[in-house]
Structure formats: structure tokens, C-alpha cells
Structure 1
Amino acid sequence: MSENSMRVPEMAGPSPILWLIAVRALALVATAFTLWLAFKVPGEEGRLIPWDKAGHFLSFYVLTLLFCLSLPRTPKGILILLMLAAGGAIEVVQGIVGRDADWKDWVADGTGIAFAVLPGWFELLRRRLIGPEPPSGLGEEEFAGDQHEARTDG
């Protein structure tokens, strides 16, 4: 049996545009759910998450991840500012409609946002600190020698 006849055919998955549409739809659903939770009249029914600050953290953590994925070309700093503004606006509106507006809720929102974006920023920093990775097929020693020659030639 030849190698080609033993090869398993690759499965074609959804195209990147379909993934983007799905993530954007999920982001909108998550936003609607978050707003519903933020503005519903508190009742006697149990909470989805017992500690209010954990709910704020988790909501904004998930929303930030979803919006970073669904808007890949938007600068992360802009998304962070928009998410922080949204969290602040929710607290202001809650105060107006008779709900409990608490600045600590906004801090929990910001913490969720930070936990969502910090791993990506740490990875970017790590890549800048270690420099370029060796091209595939080129050994570490050869790559280091090429880098040394490039620095001394200039």
C-alpha cells in the first residue's frame, strides 16, 4: 500500500467568515443577556452567580473575549475603552432606574476586561523579548550565527 492511499482526507471545516459570523452572533446574544441581567428588577428568585462582583467579572471577561474575537481589526485599546464605558454606563443607568449603582461593580467589570486581554499582551511582550524565532529547518546554532553576522555586517 502506498503512503498516499493510507492518508486520511482532510475534513473541510467552516470558512473563517462563518466562524466570524458565529462569534459576532454569540457576542450580541451575550450582550443582550448581560443587559437583561443588569436591568431586570431584582426579585426573590435565585441568582445565576451568587456573588454580584463575580457576576460582573465573568460577564465582562466573556464579553471582552467575544468582542476581541468578533472585531479582530479593531485596536484592543479601543475595545477596552468601549467595554469600560459600557460598564460605567450600566452603573449610571442602574442608579437612575432605582437599582443599586456601585462603583465596585465597575471595578469588577474592569478586572474582567483586564483578565481577558492581559494574556495576549503578555504573549506579545514575550515575543518581543525573545526576538525572532528560527525559521523552520534552520537549527538554533545556524540561526544565532546568521543573527550575529547580520549585526556585525551593518
Structure 2
Amino acid sequence: MSEIELFLADEAQTLALGTQLARLTAGHGLLFLQGDLGAGKTTLSRGIIQGLGHQGAVKSPTFTLVEPYVVGDLQLWHFDLYRLADPEELEFLGIRDYLADDDLCIIEWPQKGQGVLPEPDLHISIYTHQQGRRVVLTPYSTRAKNWCAAVAQLNRL
């Protein structure tokens, strides 16, 4: 399965896609979320994290760079690299340690870490489109191809 494209009419549909991705990933993998400010990256992240069972708020880690979440046996990491000045800062942050155990890592603004970050399982591009959002899911791993096939089937694409 190659990339798929979805139209999400509102926040509820964005959260629902996040819930689908949560179930499919089962809390493992590397997801890149790319899009302009206000495109819905954090909303989709919230849907994924809450879809895995987190009960509290999900905030954008714009100032802290990374926000950890523990859900049962799962360790989830939500990164926002918007304020990253240099990709090498990720080395000081210990990015390799975060990625080592196949915990779910959601990285907003991945282009800021270009050259240091590995290829993701799934790259998600979010664009404002009319009154909603256009979302493009591009798989880079076998498991992400399976996730995309399942998302296509769930959304009758």
C-alpha cells in the first residue's frame, strides 16, 4: 500500500483518526507529523495518545521539546521540534535513547531534525483544506504499510 489521503472535516474526525492510529500502532513506532502552524498536528497527537488510554491532557511540548506519557506498560514520547535551533541539539537531548526501545515516538516538525532523525515508520502531512484538513499518510516500513491499508479499509478508501 502506498500513501493514502483523507479529508477530515473537523477536530472530532482528526481525533478519530488518531484513535485509529493508536489501535493500529499498539503504542510502537516512529511517526512524523508535518504541517503548518495550526494545521492539527497536536490534535492528531492528542487523538493517538488518548486513543492508547492516556486520561489526562495532551499539551504541545513546544517549550520542553518532549513530553513523556506512561500508559500501562507503554512509554510514549511526544516531541515538538519547532523551536529546535540545530538538529545536533537532538544528540544532546538523547534522541537515540528515546528511539531505541520501539516506544511510540510522535515527532512534530521533523524537518527541524533532518540529518539526525532516522526514517520514520509513517510520515503524516496535514494541510488546511477548505473548512477542514487534508491528511496524507506515507508509509516507510512494512508495518506502516499495514497500518495504511487498515486506515484505508476503516475509512472505505
TM-score range, shorter chain: under 0.3
Return the structure number with greater strand share: 2
The structure number with the bigger radius of gyration is 1
TM-score of the superposed pair, with normalisation by structure 1? 0.26
TM-score by length of 2: 0.25
User: Which structure has more RCO (C-alpha within 8 Å, separation ≥ 6)?
Assistant: 2
More helix by share: 1
